[in-house]
Amino acid sequence: MSPSLILFSILGYFMLLMMIAWYTSRNADNNAYFLGSKSSPWYAVAFGMIGDSLSGVTFISLPGTVNTSQFSYMQMVLGYLVGYLIIAKILLPLYYRLNLTSIYSYLNERFGNFSQKTGSFYFLISRIIGAALRLYLAAGVIQLFVFDSYGIPFFVTVAIIIILMLLYTYRGGIKTLVWTDTLQSGLLLLGVILSITAIMSHMNYSFSDVVAEVKNSEYSKVFFWDWKEKSYFFKQFASGAFIAVVMTGLDQNMMQKNLSCPNLKDAQKNIYWFSIVLVLVNLFFLSLGALLYIYAQKQGIQLPLNEETGKVITDKVFPTLALGHLGTFAAIVFIIGLTAATFSSADSVLTTLTTSFCIDFLRVDEKEHLSEKRKTSIRHIVHIGFAFVLLITILLCEVVPKSSVLDAIFTVAAYTYGPLLGLFSFGLFTKIRVKDAFVPIVSVVSVGLSYLLRENSEQWMGGYKFGYELLLINGLFTFLGLWIISKKD
């Protein structure tokens, strides 16, 4: 597929986003930016969250992991269902009862100002790094297959992507994102389904042939029972439940859309349907991964290898086959799906980072002496500032060691969301007050202890390897730390 055709597909897609943004952002004020004027339909929020939770990383990286992890990821996905039930039954009722814009305002009411800022800080760090890793992976693909042929450097590619996101999120915020994410989720799902269809066509397979091929392949094993390994079922299942709670229920980026629904009942309905669809979508992505490796083996295609280790670079498997071996139709489908996944996960990050910083740090909602125009001006400055921070962070990804980006995102989440898990758990399940000024110290110590435990677990614990359950341990350290600094009264 020619670079010009790929570029044309991306530009056409972007123009469609701009049309939606123009229509939805008319007469948008700060309330529309932060909470969509509390008028977002639950079905649009639910469908849009699919793309937001999957992102370009899932689109590229998850199919590639099948080579080494098989279908073990589904163990964690099943755990998601428990986590989403907790969100619907415990967290959403709390947020709606307190009428929150930033969910970290709860920490201020429960513990104090330092706790609110601590929660918001870890969200900001986690989302900046997570969004940067996602965009880095997607931008790398676009750079390799489009901009390298024009001699355009990587930093210019990244800057163009950031500017495009700014253009359609700058005014409308959540009010715009609810509908752009709905479009993008639809195109992402269409991308994976049509990619499977393209492989079926090349292999002359029917749907039943595909099901049988995947089921009987070496990649389709779902459940693993070696307790020392990262893929152990109960570790994965429990990690999935807690990851869903923290990366959705304690995450401003995911909750802000839910809080834009008119009422609690609609928000809960959104979570229930979203969780069911997400299980099916992840199963499609893993099946696609198995088909990609089966196709490469049968066609004798050499997959990209790491020069140092000689192992397959899993994040490049899908792009290599879609853009180089499956024809023009599959290439266009891949590019549109990747672009949709990339913008869907990253554009909302700019909006929610802006919301969290404005509400939790600048407290613009409490400053009644500021005019609406001045609040909007501050919001615009913060929005552009985070776009610049995101640009710098993506460029820094070039110098860090390369691994599976999906694994890197969950590893970062284990460190950054652990304190959030501990803070919210302590607040919800105890009535103990704490010395608020010491909360930031507790959170830093918890992250440090979690890091030491992860790095030395095999030596200290008889070969045990920590996976994503480190998130739970980190949260437990924070919980115990809060108990230590509790007030005696």
Q: What is the pLDDT of residues 37-63, one digit of tens each?
A: 677 887 788 877 877 777 666 777 788
The more confident residue out of 315 and 441 is 441
| Of 260, 231, 238, 243, nearest in space to 71 by CA | 231
What is the structure's pLDDT at 7? 79
Asked whether 342 and 134 are in contact (CB, 8 A), the reply is: yes
Q: How confident is the model at residue 107 (pLDDT cuts 50, 70, 90)?
A: very high
pLDDT in tens, 149-190: 888 898 998 898 888 878 776 665 677 777 777 887 888 888
Tell me, yes or no, if the pTM score tops 0.95.
Answer: no
Rounded to whole angstroms, the Cα distance separating 281 from 293 reads 19
pLDDT of residue 32: 63
Instruction: Report the topology of domain 3-423.
Output: Sodium/glucose cotransporter (1.20.1730)
The model's pLDDT over 338-356, given as tens digits with 9 standing for 90+, comes to: 777 766 666 678 888 888 8
Residue spans of the domains in the chain: they are: 3-423
DSSP string across 193-225: HHHHHHHHHHHT--HHHHHHHHHTSTT------
| Lookup: tokens for 404 | 């599976």
Is residue 135's pLDDT more than 70?
yes
Q: What DSSP string describes 437-487?
A: GGHHHHHHHHHHHHHHHHHHHHHHTTT----TTHHHHHHHHHHHHHHHTB-
User: Euclidean distance between the first and final Cα of the chain, in Å?
Assistant: 69
Q: What percent of the chain has pLDDT over 90?
A: 28
Amino acid 468 reads Y
- At residue 253, the pLDDT reads 79
Residue whose C-alpha is closest to residue 243's, from 456, 402, 409? 409
* Residue 188 · residue 340 · CB < 8 Å: yes
Share the mean pLDDT of the chain: 84
